[in-house]
Amino acid sequence: MVARSSRRSLRCEARKVALLGAGGGIGQPLALLLKMNKFVTELALYDIVGVAGVAADLSHCNTPVKVTAFTGPEELAGCLSGADLVVIPAGVPRKPGMTRDDLFNTNAGIVQALVQAAGKNCPQAVLEIITNPVNSTVPIAAETLKAMGVYDPKKVIGVTSLDVVRANTFVAEARGLDMKDVDVPVIGGHAGATILPLLSQTTPAVTFTEAEKKAMTEKIQNAGTVVVEAKAGKGSATLSMAYAAARMAESTLLGLNGEPNIYECAFVQSEVVADVPYFASKVLLGPHGVAKVMGLGELDAFETAALQSMLPQLKAEIQKGVDFAKNAK
Ligand code: NAD
Ligand code: LMR
């Protein structure tokens, strides 16, 4: 991730961002961060309930971003029309004891319906999907758009930036480094063992013993579950997710505006690993969304083994999403 202080924009275009699920635990703080973002011109908030109050509240913040509210499916087209970026945190979060895959039955249909509406009303927009299980909801989005004839792999992005935010935080804390200087690429997917931080590629270079490497990797993989347990039935990560999604959105807008050298890790259509059609890795963001999916670089022996052992889970979760979308009426 590029440090915030180094972020400029060559051009400041008018940019409409649609936020679907804006009344929720992630939606509300993310709406606030987007209202504070100088690259956003209009912020269109959508939810099935409670979003008018969020919009009224936010609209009193004296930043230039115009805030509008849309409630229920009959108002969804108005929210999406003309959007450059659509961010989707709509859906249910985990409770203690659940895996992200346990959310599939509820969230698959929510994501599919919202993506269908985006495909119809703003087919040119970049879609950023936060809703879990990301390993399955991104393939659902892609297959849904393919069936509509409007799929562009550069424009469908699974948001995994929270894994990078966590890895950066934990490694900086462990090594006494300045938070703003640390960058740990995180590859794979966004569930359990499919979350693979590449500690060997940390900037600045850090060294870990084999035991430390294993412990740090597991800490990053389990961080979402730690939050779910600490919230004890009241949801999952919301504030850190809003922070991470706001960064991802800003990077995407910078890319759309023509700013060079904007890199983030994200779960996208990929050929980086054979037989795995979607994969999280570093991507270059550009004027049309994902400009380039970067390679993995050199992995150490621990990372190579962890990558091989996660692949069956990742492939199965991707296929579950593909099958859902293909079998949908
Ligand atoms: P939440 O329950 O607090 O909010 C979800 C919002 O979605 C609610 O306001 C709800 O009304 C709305 N919603 C439900 N169905 C909808 C529909 N059909 N259309 C529009 N809006 C709808 O949940 P949350 O904590 O904000 O989490 C949302 C999702 O984000 C969950 O699936 C969670 O697992 C996921 N999540 C992902 C990451 C990640 O790293 N990608 C991190 C944290 C949470
Ligand atoms: C996270 O990583 O915090 C999210 O995927 C939410 C969850 O269910 O853990």
Dump the DSSP string for 279-312: EEEEEEEETTEEEEE-------HHHHHHHHHHHH
Residue nearest to atom 35 of ligand 1 (CA): 131
> 225: CA distance to ligand 2 center in Å?
7
Residue nearest to atom 8 of ligand 2 (CA): 94
> What's residue 174's pLDDT?
98
Which ligand has its closest atom nearest to the C-alpha of 242?
1
162-200 confidence digits (pLDDT tens): 999 999 999 999 999 999 999 999 999 999 999 999 999
CA gap 73, 237 in Å, rounded? 26
Handedness of CA 201, 205, 211, 216 (dihedral sign): negative
Structure confidence at residue 13 as a pLDDT band (50, 70, 90): confident
Say whether 187 sits in a helix, a strand or coil: strand
288 is catalytic: no
* Cβ 236 under 6 angstroms from ligand 2: yes
* Cβ 130 under 6 angstroms from ligand 1: yes
* Cβ 24 under 6 angstroms from ligand 1: yes
> What's residue 1's pLDDT?
47
Structure confidence at residue 76 as a pLDDT band (50, 70, 90): very high
Whether residue 10 is predicted with pLDDT greater than 90 in this model: the reply is: no
Say whether 217 sits in a helix, a strand or coil: helix
* Cβ 286 under 6 angstroms from ligand 2: no
> 158: CA distance to ligand 1 center in Å?
14
> From the CB of residue 231, how many other CB atoms can be counted at a distance below 10 Å?
17
- Among the listed residues 15, 16, 155, 190, the single catalytic one is 190
CA gap 133, 196 in Å, rounded? 16
17-70 confidence digits (pLDDT tens): 999 999 999 999 999 999 999 999 999 999 999 999 999 999 999 999 999 999
> 7: CA distance to ligand 1 center in Å?
29
**Above pLDDT 90, what percent of the chain?**
95
Mean pLDDT of 291-301: 97
CA gap 147, 143 in Å, rounded? 6
Whether residue 210 is predicted with pLDDT greater than 90 in this model: the reply is: yes
Q: Which residue has the higher pLDDT, 1 or 228?
A: 228
Atom nearest to 23 CA in ligand 1: 9
> What's residue 2's pLDDT?
43
Whether residue 3 is predicted with pLDDT greater than 90 in this model: the reply is: no
- What type of residue is 143? E
Q: What homologous superfamily does CATH list for 15-159?
A: NAD(P)-binding Rossmann-like Domain (3.40.50.720)
Domains of the chain by residue range: 15-159, 161-317
Contact 153, 259 (CB under 8 A): no
> 94: CA distance to ligand 2 center in Å?
8
- 82 annotated as ligand-binding: no
* Cβ 162 under 6 angstroms from ligand 2: yes
The two tokens of residue 60 are 């009193």
Q: What are phi and psi of 245, to 5 degrees?
A: -70, -35
**Above pLDDT 70, what percent of the chain?**
96
The CATH classification number of 161-317 equals 3.90.110.10
* Cβ 241 under 6 angstroms from ligand 1: yes
List 264's β-bridge partners, or say none. 283
241-254 confidence digits (pLDDT tens): 999 999 999 999 99
Handedness of CA 47, 131, 24, 256 (dihedral sign): negative
- What type of residue is 294? M
